[in-house]
Chains A and B, each alone.
Chain A
Amino acid sequence: MEVKGETRGVTLTIDRDYILKNKGEEGLKKVEEELGELGYPIKYKEIETFGYYPVGLRALSLLAIKKVFDFDDKKIEEIGFFGTRVSLVAKFFIKYISSVPKVFLREGQKIWRKHWTIGRLVPIEFNKEKKYAVLQLKDFNLHPIYCIFLRGYMSGLFSLIIKSPQITCQERKCPFKGDEYHEYLIKWQ
């Protein structure tokens, strides 16, 4: 696993909970078998929420799921959205949502650092009137599948702080497309 850095176990439990809820124990077992074949025989239920795990494992978990269940991008995005509903990551985030600008301008990076040892989440713009926000994720070149995951995750997080019937997230810059960093544009109604 060449990608350096670590992530907290809570980011991995999102995958575990999603599979358990939608594919059951059998589904989770298949994913574990797939990971075993890839040389990473992990047991999801043994993952410690607050433990540190190689960042590469985070991407591998999603890839194994994609392969086992033949998931498209929409499904991967759905896992990201689901994460904001059930995982402790979201619960931690909740703590910081007393005011949107505060979350956006001050706490974003702080929250990121609690879960990842690599990467920086930089708030660029929050336009309440025009109903959009721009976030950049720098120094975080994990895997394109995680870019998709983050799209769903960002939508989910913003739905917790903004009342809107529809929130969309678009990655308009990506290192895997030649850009220096990831840039997400979040829009709401």
Chain B
Amino acid sequence: MAVAKGKKERIRRGEEDKVSILLEDLASLESYARDLFSFLPLPVCLISAIGIILDANPSFEELSGYRLEEIIGKPAEEVFDKGRLGEISKQTLEKGFVRAEELSIFTKNKKEILGSASATLRKTEEGEIVGYFLGFFNLAGIKKREKELRETQVALANILEDVEEARAKAEEEKNKTGAIIINLTDGILVFDEEDKLSLMNPLAEKFFDIKARDLIDRPISELSTFPTLKPLIKVLTEEVGEIFRKEVSLKKDLTLEMSAVPVLRKKERIGNLIILHDITREKLVEKMKTEFVSLAAHQLRTPLSAIKWTLKMLLDGDLGKITEEQRDFITKTYQSNERMITLINNLLDITRIEEGRYIYKPALTEFEPIVQFVVDSCKGEAERKKIKIEFRKPKKKSRRAMLDIEKIRLAVENLLDNAIKYTQAGGRVIVSLKNTPKEIELSVKDSGVGIPKDQQGRVFAKFFRGANVIRMATEGTGLGLFITKNIIEAHGGRIWFESEEGKGTTFYLALPIKEEFEGFLREF
């Protein structure tokens, strides 16, 4: 009996041990299952066959915004998109699973999150359906990026469309510009920022008797190797400044007016545009005109000289006594004749200037004595008009320049004559001379009538006379300043002025001193 009892006891203990081991295994399994379910980053819930949420993991809690005790027991249709969930549920119950079906979840704060759902049927050991596990993959981020990508795509397509439109417009503009350039009555050359020829229109090809295709993309330095282009390239490389205009004689019967204009983009120079205007005909007409004026002037001067000397003889009494009344008339006639001679002389000077025959005889000369001479010779007229003349000289010794004394004297005379002529009695004329490091500068300042602002641009033009001056009915041919400017520029000098109507005018001229005269000397 005791043996049997002991055996029973051992069996019982053995059973208890087995139960204990099984319980431990169950506890481990439960812990493992719980950890796995909790750790899973994918939101997962278990939905019963009648559509009640029976369980959910922490990720699902986090996504939905519901606490676990709130979500469990809740009808799934309150959390998910009812229609889509119904389909997923139906398919899962029929097929046992669904994969990656689109489904929306509505969070506690009513936000809709679009995602992809997969579901797997859950059954009991007896094969009865408990419900299904539903895993939800949040596509919000992907969808958002997809939407952004779509928007970007649309924006890019729009930009491309705009660019294409702009390109087409630009192409059209280019074609238009091209047509204009081709048909332009001026020759066009365009150099790029590296001074390579990038465009040459047909007229320019004709001017230079050359084909653009042989020159395009060649640097300006290489173009001078083409004989017909040489005169132009010489001007372009040696003389062109920012904006430039010059006459270039290519052949005997072809004179071009060349204008060089920088091509700018946002103030940055991206090339140079050279416009070549054929002025051959204008030059010819001008030449004929000048020749006519010259001829007419010469023809007029001879009889005027005869008249002058006859009148002189009458006034001097060489032809017999004359009455005072007769003297008065003859004197006036003599003075008018003198003015006509002066005009004719001026016209002849101009024709010489225009024909390039206004010959200069430069010599290394001091400028100050010339000015002094002119000031002295004008004093009589100034006194007669009750105008005070002042000559301000530099303290240092006057510098020398290469000057044609006769022409320079004429230029200074013209300035001083004007100053006296257009200044009212009681006015003042100040002649100042100063030396700068490179130039001798003369200024003639008057307190006269001034030059109207709207007319100042034409002061050095032929036959220009200010409107206010014409009203004063003073004498003048309107040629003095034109001649003066030509004389000064022929000496390599500059001439300019400042004027205010009613207050006075100051004319300035600057002549280069000897050291700076090399270029000028070479020309003589």
Q: Residues on A close to B: CB < 8 A?
A: 48-51, 81-82, 84-86, 88, 90-91, 94-99, 156, 159-161, 163
Contact = CB atoms under 8 A, between A and B. Distances in A.
B72 A84 contact: yes
B430 interface: no
Given A98-B128, A98-B129, A98-B130, A160 B54 contact: yes
Main secondary structure of the interface of B (DSSP, over half): mixed
A84 B53 CA distance: 12
Given A86-B69, A98-B124, 20 more contacts: A48-B23, A49-B27, A50-B26, A51-B23, A82-B69, A84-B72, A84-B73, A85-B69, A86-B68, A88-B30, A91-B55, A95-B124, A95-B130, A98-B49, A98-B128, A98-B129, A159-B52, A159-B73, A161-B48, A163-B51
A159 B27 CA distance: 28
Given A49-B30, A94-B55, A85 B73 contact: yes
A163 B75 contact: yes
Contact of A163 (B50, B72, B129): B50
B46 interface: yes
Contacts of B73: 84-85, 156, 159-160
Contacts of A90: 54, 72
A41 B51 CA distance: 43
A155 to B, nearest CB: 9
Interface in B305-364: none
A84 B517 CA distance: 113
Interface of B: 23, 26-27, 30, 46, 48-52, 54-55, 68-69, 72-73, 75, 124, 128-131
Given A91-B55, A95-B124, A98-B130, A50 B69 contact: no
Contact of A94 (B27, B46, B75): B46
A96 B124 contact: yes
B153 to A, nearest CB: 45
List the 6 closest A-B pairs by CB distance, nearest first.
Answer: A159-B73, A85-B72, A85-B69, A98-B128, A50-B26, A50-B23
A160 B52 contact: yes
Contacts of A48: 23, 27
A82 B52 CA distance: 16
Nearest to A165: B75
29 contacts: A49-B27, A50-B26, A51-B23, A82-B69, A84-B73, A85-B68, A85-B72, A86-B72, A88-B30, A94-B46, A94-B54, A94-B55, A94-B130, A94-B131, A95-B130, A96-B124, A97-B48, A97-B130, A98-B49, A98-B129, A99-B128, A159-B52, A160-B54, A160-B72, A160-B73, A161-B50, A161-B52, A163-B52, A163-B75
